[in-house]
Amino acid sequence: MTSRELVELAKKAAENAYVPYSRHYVGAALEAKSGKVYLGCNIENAAYGPTNCAERTAFFKAISEGERGFSKIAVVGGKDLDFKTYFTPCGICRQVMSEFCDDDFIIILGKNGDEYIEKSLDEILPMRFSPKYLS
């Protein structure tokens, strides 16, 4: 799937976000090496701490379906779905990516007007701690 197509799917996924507290809708579209795409949205909680980010929702859906290899993820977000700026993955989501993704994994950040940028895991999480340190 092209990066542009993944960004469009992420925008669709954001519509399902449960965000009564921040009103920031985030969507993710994660492409597994199998070719299947898993969508995720953020899910907030009145106790705040249990909130789950869109990226981790997508990863955990995929992992729980048996996927282990991933090629790319598109992420979008914004107040009331405005997608005005790039919404970059939080530190916890970056570490989850580090667990399951190789150096060739691509993070696509999308916003309005068909604009997107692509980053590597090394760019967004340099000197990352990964399973190789425990082998």
10 belongs to the binding site for ligand THU (CB under 6 A) = no
Instruction: By CB under 6 A, tell whether 76 contacts ligand THU.
Output: no
Exposed / middle / buried, residue 2 (Cβ in 10 Å: 0-12, 13-18, 19+): exposed
The active-site residue, picked from 55, 99, 115, 123, is 55
Q: Write out the two tokens for 33.
A: 């090496």
What character string, x for contact with ligand THU (CB under 6 A) and - otherwise, covers 43-72?
Answer: -x------x-xxx-----------------
Pick the piece of the chain touching ligand THU (CB under 6 A) from 17-25, 31-39, 110-118, 119-127.
17-25
8 tagged catalytic: no
> Is the CB of 1 or the CB of 44 nearer to ligand THU?
44
Binding positions for ligand THU, rule: CB under 6 A? 19, 22, 24, 26, 42, 44, 51, 53-55, 89-90, 93
Q: Which residues belong to the active site?
A: 55
